[in-house]
Every structure is written in C-alpha cells, then in structure tokens.
Amino acid sequence: MRTLVRRAVICGLATAGVLGPMTASGAAAEAAAPAPRLYAPTALVLTVAQGENAATAVPLRAVTLTCNPTAGGTHPAPQKACAELRAAQGEFSALGDEETRPCIKIYDPVVVTAQGTWEGRRVNFEQKYANSCVMQAEGSSVFSF
C-alpha cells in the first residue's frame, strides 16, 4: 500500500511540475493574443456582363470585394470601392458619379451585378446600362474593373 501511495505522490508531483509551466505559458499566450473582434461580414462578387439581364448575359469580367475587417479581394481598388459603398450605406442603387459626359447612342446593353453580403445583409443587385460608356459615366468605381 505504501508503495502505491508513494508512486501516486511522485506521479502527482511530476505531473504538476510538467503541467504547471505549460498552463502558465498557455495563459500568457492567451493574454498576449488580441481578442477577436466581431463584425458583420462583407463579401461580394461583382460582375460586368454583355446583354439585357444577368440571367442571359455573357460575363465579361468578375472580381471579389471584401470590406470587413479590411478592404481586399481581387478588385483593383478595394479601399475606394468599400469607401463608396459605406458612403451609400451599402445601397448599390445610390452609387453613381455626379459627372455627366456625352456618350454615343448605340444600344449595346451592359449589366452589372453584385451578389453576396454587405455588413451581414444579403445583397442581390442588378443594373442594366445602354452601353459601356453610359455605365462608366453613370456608374461608380465599385464596377470599374
């Protein structure tokens, strides 16, 4: 019986010696790591397509855009695009430049789409323009890719 008690005490001390430093360093690592910030996700797929509507149009270009926690994705100017979307409070229909420029009146429809989430809210946007010149004149940098 004494042998069993001694082994238990020795094992207990050995375990405390081994786990003690691991527990302390684990707590230190947790304290040093920044706490994860909660944010509503923003992840979008933006497309420019040739045609009347998104269902039948031929896609020309597509990019990804993320705005939370930082601007990124394959969009060529994600910071500018995210800033414009924030200014419009995520309303794609409110995007657009005040600049007006003359465009030819040839009907060659272009469709832009945005699908995904904006600050946790589902987005499914589609806008048709008469041609690519009108899209560039009336659109924003969000669809300039």
| Cα pseudo-dihedral 8, 12, 15, 19, rounded to 10 | 160
Spatial contact of 39 and 68, defined as CB atoms under 8 Å apart: yes
**φ and ψ at residue 70, rounded to 5 degrees:** -135, 160
Q: What is the C-alpha separation between 111 and 128, in angstroms, rounded? A: 4
Domain 42-143 coded CATH 3.30.350.10: yes
Q: Which whole number is the average pLDDT over 44-70?
A: 92
75-103 pLDDT, tens digit per residue, is 999 999 999 999 988 898 888 766 677 88
Token pair, residue 39, equals 């944010």
Token pair, residue 136, equals 């560039």
9-23 pLDDT, tens digit per residue, is 444 444 444 444 444
Domain residue limits, the chain: 1-33, 42-143
- pTM value surpassing 0.75: no
Overall size of the chain counted in residues? 145
107-135 pLDDT, tens digit per residue, is 999 999 999 999 889 999 999 999 998 88
Q: What is the C-alpha separation between 48 and 96, in angstroms, rounded? A: 16
pLDDT score of 29: 47
pLDDT score of 32: 55
Token pair, residue 129, equals 């323009």
